[in-house]
Chains A and B, each alone.
Chain A
Amino acid sequence: DVKVTQSSRYLVKRTGEKVFLECVQDMDHENMFWYRQDPGLGLRLIYFSYDVKMKEKGDIPEGYSVSREKKERFSLILESASTNQTSMYLCASRPAGPSSYEQYFGPGTRLTVT
């Protein structure tokens, strides 16, 4: 069974803290993605990685960075958390190949920055 896991379901951090959100997939997928989901805005792509050590900015990369040292793990880093980064963060993965392939999603991490 396909599995994408995220390190925490709920996280509370203080403004200015460095925050790591971890995502692990067990499907040997090449492509991995980080989205944030906000009410009324849907899903917005922050960063994606098409292979180990490869990354590309999505639509809203400001304030975020990522790391992909191993194929199965994709980390989202908030260098200095701010209250406007309070959101639901969703990780996804898919195999490399045609754009017909669907993405598989993790359960999400609801981050609150106070």
Chain B
Amino acid sequence: AQKVTQAQTEISVVEKEDVTLDCVYETRDTTYYLFWYKQPPSGELVFLIRRNSFDEQNEISGRYSWNFQKSTSSFNFTITASQVVDSAVYFCALSEVNSGGSNYKLTFGKGTLLTVNP
């Protein structure tokens, strides 16, 4: 069975600090997709990024960057120069290509609450 672990339940930083959110996953499949979602206080989960298991290139989007390492089954998310607006719950999720036909299901981690203080 697939599993996603976000070991950090809560992180608190001061504005402008860099912060890394950890995500470790378990899967038996060789082909899979990893996602990060942001849930601001308004409640709606917002899609941030998707990565497939064959693409280990790191990605940068503005202040956000993602480090995918298949060897350690990790897909970590770094926010550079954090801002108060980054305060949210962040979820990592895993989708397997083949799981008994239910290839549209996501397995979510329990989330990391990030608080950025001014």
Give me the interface of A with B, judged by CB distance under 8 Å. 9, 31, 40-43, 45, 48, 50, 56, 58, 88, 90, 92, 94, 96, 98-108, 110
Known: A40-B9, A100-B52, A102-B35. A48 touches B104 (CB 8 A): yes
Q: For residue A94, which residues in chain B have a CB less than 8 angstroms away from its CB?
A: 104
The answer to whether B104 touches A100, judged by C-beta atoms less than 8 angstroms apart, is no
Number of A-B contacts defined by CB within 8 Å: 58
Give me the interface of B with A, judged by CB distance under 8 Å. 9, 32-33, 35, 37, 42-47, 50, 52, 91, 95-97, 102-106, 108-111
Q: Shortest beta-carbon distance, B3 to chain A, in Å?
A: 11
Q: Shortest beta-carbon distance, A57 to chain B, in Å?
A: 10
Q: For residue B52, which residues in chain A have a CB less than 8 angstroms away from its CB?
A: 100
Q: For residue B33, which residues in chain A have a CB less than 8 angstroms away from its CB?
A: 99-100
Q: Shortest beta-carbon distance, A71 to chain B, in Å?
A: 15
Residue of A nearest to B35 (CB): A102
The answer to whether B105 touches A45, judged by C-beta atoms less than 8 angstroms apart, is yes
Q: For residue B95, which residues in chain A have a CB less than 8 angstroms away from its CB?
A: 99-100
Q: Shortest beta-carbon distance, A42 to chain B, in Å?
A: 4
Residue of A nearest to B9 (CB): A40
Q: Can you pick out 13 interface pairs between chain A and chain B where the beta carbons lie within 8 Å of each other?
A: A40-B110, A42-B91, A42-B109, A90-B45, A94-B104, A96-B104, A98-B97, A100-B33, A100-B52, A103-B47, A106-B44, A107-B43, A107-B44
Q: For residue A104, which residues in chain B have a CB less than 8 angstroms away from its CB?
A: 47
Known: A40-B9, A42-B91, A43-B91. A102 touches B47 (CB 8 A): yes
Q: Shortest beta-carbon distance, A80 to chain B, in Å?
A: 26
Q: For residue B106, which residues in chain A have a CB less than 8 angstroms away from its CB?
A: 45, 103
Q: For residue A90, which residues in chain B have a CB less than 8 angstroms away from its CB?
A: 43, 45
Q: Shortest beta-carbon distance, A44 to chain B, in Å?
A: 8
Contact of B102 among A41, A56, A100, A110 (CB under 8 A): A56
Residue of A nearest to B95 (CB): A99
| Known A103-B47, A105-B37; further 19 A-B contacts with Cβ < 8 A | A31-B104, A40-B9, A41-B110, A42-B109, A42-B111, A56-B102, A88-B43, A90-B43, A99-B33, A99-B95, A99-B97, A99-B104, A100-B95, A101-B104, A103-B106, A105-B44, A106-B44, A107-B43, A107-B44
